[in-house]
Amino acid sequence: MADQRARHFRRLRALRRSARWWSVWAGGLGGAAAVLTPYQGLGLPDAAWVAGAGGTAALALWRWADLRLLAAQPAPPPPDPAVAAERTRAQLIAAVERLPAGAGAVAEVRRQKTRFNLRGSAAAQPWDRLSRASSTMTGLAGRLPALAGPAVLEAAVAERSLHDLAHRVASLEKAMRFAPDESRPALESAHRDLCGQLDRGVAAYEALVIAAAAYLAEDTRSTPEDPAATRLTEATDLLHGIATGLSQLRTPR
């Protein structure tokens, strides 16, 4: 809505500038034709002056007519301040994420905000475990082979589901504070079930992260020695041999 309103007023300003510009040209060419024609008589240059004046006058009239038609249309209503603020916030976050270290900074701010919202909740400790495991998985995902792509995707889906489950636990705890006594047992039972699901889900996610780390460790052990390291070792041995030979040559017999 804000873009439509801004676009409407931009079109009005552009048409007003164009109408004024063509009006100035029409007035200048018309005045020149009115002054020069009586003195020079009717000829080819006078026809060009008159044609230019007539063309610019027609364009100016068309522009003023378009401006009146557009000005007669109602402007789009102003946007809701909350919606505009949310759009501005999203644009600011997107601009920060495009910076070299912006994505990590935004993720850390979101993590701290979530931790603050979950303080005092039974979901706080599982969420901390999930946050640490998620950070570890983010570092491992870029080094896993393409064969592990489905597992990485499944881990991302599970992480979002567990985050949502943690927020559900916190929301349920807030509802239990003012719930009547007759509905409290049912809420407490649901709370225990959700907490159990969250603990089991976080434990399974941590097991997945440990498996990914173990896979990378075994893959590194099975990889042959780096050729660059081998060449450096050979070069070091060669230099040691040359130094030993030079030392023996300088030693008197």
Per-residue pLDDT of the chain (253 residues; tens, 9 = 90+): 456 777 888 888 888 888 888 888 888 877 777 776 666 555 666 667 677 777 888 888 888 888 888 888 887 777 666 666 667 777 776 776 676 666 666 666 777 777 777 788 888 888 888 888 888 888 887 777 776 777 778 888 888 888 898 888 888 888 888 878 888 888 888 888 988 998 998 898 888 888 888 877 776 655 555 566 667 676 676 666 656 655 665 555 5
With b for 16 or more beta-carbon neighbours within 10 A and e for fewer, the 101-114 pattern comes to: eeeeebeeeeeeeb
53 and 131 belong to one structural domain: no
Is residue 101 assigned to a domain?
A: no
195 and 241 belong to one structural domain: no
* Domain termination residue (choose one: 35, 53, 72): 72
- pTM to 2 decimals? 0.53
11 and 59 belong to one structural domain: yes
Is residue 132 assigned to a domain?
A: yes
Is residue 108 assigned to a domain?
A: no
The parent domain of residue 150 ranges over 120-222
Q: What torsion do the CA atoms of 195, 199, 204, 207 make, to the nearest 10 degrees?
A: 170
